[in-house]
Amino acid sequence: MKSILRTRTIALAAAALATLGVASRADAQIQLTPDSGRYLIQRTVGVEEWAISYNFEDGTLTGNVFKTDGSPPSFIFCEFTDIQYADDPADNQYFLDCFGSDACTQAPCDPSAWTDIGQNIPLPASFVLPPETKATYGGNVEPIFTASCALGACHDSVTASAGLDLSPGVAYGNIVDVMSTQMPMLSLVEPFDSDDSYLFRKLLGTGMGSQMPLGGMLSQDQLDDVMNWIVEGGVQN
């Protein structure tokens, strides 16, 4: 058992070393699921192969750790404890608490089989984001909605003009794959398609009624952030 745990600990230590640039974006193979609900990640960590899933809704990283010596795979469960966002998504830093386990051989699975293998483990953006990601929701888009649309504006939790609340923590669920009341044939945000995202049309001034936000349009950099986030899948990342 001690040797197994030691192997897991080494694997997590290798992941932490990625913050020093040991791991590069080229090491990871990443795909976004069609529903924009999670990233599927395949990458080499030290002498192991990881096949893991980053679930945006519950903020977890789960999957399998395969050993190159042919021994049975281990299982990993991590919860994101903090994300430090930057203007450039490549500079984001992620922190996780992680647990590891061997396979469950018979139901019911014993929760005590999970072992703490690292707390507040730092990972770079290259570990969890697709290469060349231009905008993330938490780092680029939500701050725009908060500053320009929610705080002291039309779309806070009190006013919610047109029934739309863009306050922090609730904006995402109110816009992605949610139909517009002004143009019901369009979603407010249609993942992968900024042209058919009514909210983006309003920001450009090509939607029904006044251009948003009232009192002054967004800068080109801000518009680019929103557009890039949408075409990259409208992910809650």
Q: Domain ranges in the chain? A: 2-128, 137-231
pLDDT for position 176? 93
Length in residues, the chain: 237
pLDDT for position 208? 75
CA dist 231 and 137 (Å) reads: 12
CA dist 187 and 36 (Å) reads: 15
Whole-structure pTM value: 0.83
Which tokens sit at 180? 């517009």
Closest CA relative to residue 76, chosen from 62, 66, 89, 87: 62
pLDDT for position 151? 58
pLDDT for position 62? 96
pLDDT for position 57? 92
pLDDT for position 158? 42
Q: What kind and span of H or E run contains 223? A: helix 220-231
Mean pLDDT (10-residue bins), the chain, 237 residues = 44 41 58 96 84 95 88 92 95 94 92 91 91 96 81 54 74 91 90 94 83 78 96 97
